[in-house]
Every structure is written in C-alpha cells, then in structure tokens.
C-alpha cells in the first residue's frame, strides 16, 4: 500500500505515519525529516535549506524530488507513507512518474482536515524525541515522566526552530497557496479521502485504518 498523508502543518501527519510504521510495517518518507537530518549532519544540502526552513518557506522542488527519488529506489516493503510530500503540483507529477517507473501506484490520499486555530495550539506545544522521533505535546500528549521519552528513555527532547507563531503563519500561507491545490488534483483522480483531524489521535488513526482496509 502506498499512501499520501496530506494536510497543513500540525495536522498530525507525522503522528499517524509513525503509528502506521509500528502497526503495519510501512515505510515513512517524510521530506521534512530528511531535510532536518541533512541539517543535523552539517551537509552542503543542510546548509542550503536551513534559512528557508526556519522561515517556513518551501524548499525547491528539485531538492525534495531528488530526496524522494533516492528512497523509492531503495524500495519499501509494506508500502510507503508519503508525509509532507508532495506539496506542489510539480512534486505530485514527479511522484506519479517515479511510482509508475517502479511499477507501482498510489493506493490512497488522505486529507487530514484541521482548522487554523487548532493548528497553532498543536504547533506551539509540540516537542519531539531527538533520538527516536516520537512526537509529544505539552497538553494533549506529554511524556509520562517529564523530560524523558516514553518510547526510548532518551532525555534529548527538542522543539523545532520553525514552530514559532511567525514561521507558522508562513507555513500556513505556503500550504494554502501551493499545497492545497493537490486536494482538487487527487479528488479529480478519485483518490482522495477526507479524515477529521480534530478528533483524538486514536480516532484519527481508526479513520485512516478504515480507508486503508477498504482499498
């Protein structure tokens, strides 16, 4: 199964992708995570995207299409979850071409719908484990022991530099200007399902499972 999770910043794409990896053995392909890894490793690519990401602007299509291409070639048992990709029409076309070239297709596109006020709450309260990537929230999903990751015990809990209100405004603008057109694009192909992203995490997960199990 190959699945796209489509939705604005903070919609819960990463949270649900991690659950699908654990429960279904799918492979998560998050272009945001790949770019952050490039920054952490101090690579040339990381240096190039640092300021763009901190502002909340989109990185160029060439860069992210290149990143995804490498991962698709490596193969993914259990199917891929595209998390935060595609974000533009050019990226969507490139993905369709890459999947076709690999003899694969797209099984579902799930739009996670959340209103802007809730997104701001989620983004400003978010922190993640620097060791295993688990995602937490100050109010809705705190670690059981303060300062310690539930999953791996690490104390390396971090906040993202682009999780400020100012950068979030930019990220939302980019989403509505460039990414939200993909809703119509996949709807027209008959591939779009919509899930209420405002529901509690478990309910959103159940709604996603229902879509996957029909396909």
CB-based contacts of 121, cutoff 8 Å, min separation 6: 139
What mask of x and - would describe binding to ligand AP5 in positions 92 to 121, judged by CB under 6 A? ------------------------------
To the query of whether residue 171 is one of the catalytic residues in this protein, the response is yes
> Of residues 9, 28, 193, 195, which one binds ligand AP5 by CB under 6 A?
9
Q: Which does 151 bind (CB under 5 to 8 A by kind): ligand AP5, Zn ion, none?
A: Zn ion
Residues in 157-196 at the binding interface with ligand AP5, rule: CB under 6 A = 162, 171
Give residue for tokens 């310690």.
Answer: 148
Query: Based on CB atoms, which residue is closest to ligand AP5, 172 or 192?
Result: 172
β-strand pairing of 192-196 with 108-113:
parallel
Query: Based on CB atoms, which residue is closest to ligand AP5, 147 or 190?
Result: 147
The answer to whether the Cα torsion of 163, 65, 16, 215 is positive or negative is positive
201 binds ligand AP5 (CB under 6 A): yes
**CB-based contacts of 200-205 (< 8 A; 24+ apart in sequence):** 201/12, 201/15, 201/16, 201/140, 201/141, 204/12, 204/16, 204/112, 205/16, 205/19
Closest alpha carbon to 33 in 172, 21, 169, 191: 21
Backbone φ, ψ for residue 83 (5° rounding) = -115, 105
131 binds Zn ion (CB under 5 A): yes
> Of residues 19, 122, 129, 134, which one binds ligand AP5 by CB under 6 A?
122
Query: Based on CB atoms, which residue is closest to Zn ion, 45 or 135?
Result: 135
> Of residues 28, 31, 38, 207, which one binds ligand AP5 by CB under 6 A?
31
Closest alpha carbon to 61 in 24, 92, 19: 92
Q: Which does 205 bind (CB under 5 to 8 A by kind): ligand AP5, Zn ion, none?
A: none
Type and span of the H or E element at 91: helix 89-101
List, as residue ranges, the binding site for Zn(2+): 129, 132, 149, 152
Catalytic site positions: 13, 87, 126, 160, 171
List, as residue ranges, the binding site for AMP: 31, 36, 57-59, 84-87, 91, 160, 171
């Amino acid at each position: 199964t190959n699945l796209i999770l489509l939705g604005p910043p903070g919609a819960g794409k990463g949270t649900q992708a991690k659950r699908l990896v654990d429960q279904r053995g799918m492979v998560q392909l998050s272009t945001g995570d790949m770019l952050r890894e490039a920054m952490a490793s101090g690579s040339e690519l990381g240096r190039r995207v640092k300021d763009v990401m901190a502002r909340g602007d989109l990185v160029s299509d060439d860069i992210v299409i290149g990143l995804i291409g490498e991962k698709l070639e490596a193969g993914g048992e259990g199917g891929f979850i595209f998390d935060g990709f595609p974000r533009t029409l050019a990226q969507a076309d490139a993905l369709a071409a890459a999947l076709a070239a690999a003899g694969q297709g797209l099984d579902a596109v799930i739009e996670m719908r959340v209103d802007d006020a809730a997104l701001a709450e989620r983004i400003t309260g978010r922190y993640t484990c620097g060791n295993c990537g688990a995602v937490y929230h100050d109010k809705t999903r705190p670690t059981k022991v303060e300062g310690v990751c539930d999953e791996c015990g690490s104390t390396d809990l971090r906040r993202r530099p682009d999780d400020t209100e100012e950068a979030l405004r930019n990220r939302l603008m980019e989403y509505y200007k460039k990414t939200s057109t993909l809703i119509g694009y996949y709807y027209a192909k008959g591939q779009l399902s919509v899930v209420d992203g405002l529901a509690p995490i478990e309910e959103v997960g159940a709604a996603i499972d229902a879509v996957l199990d029909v396909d």
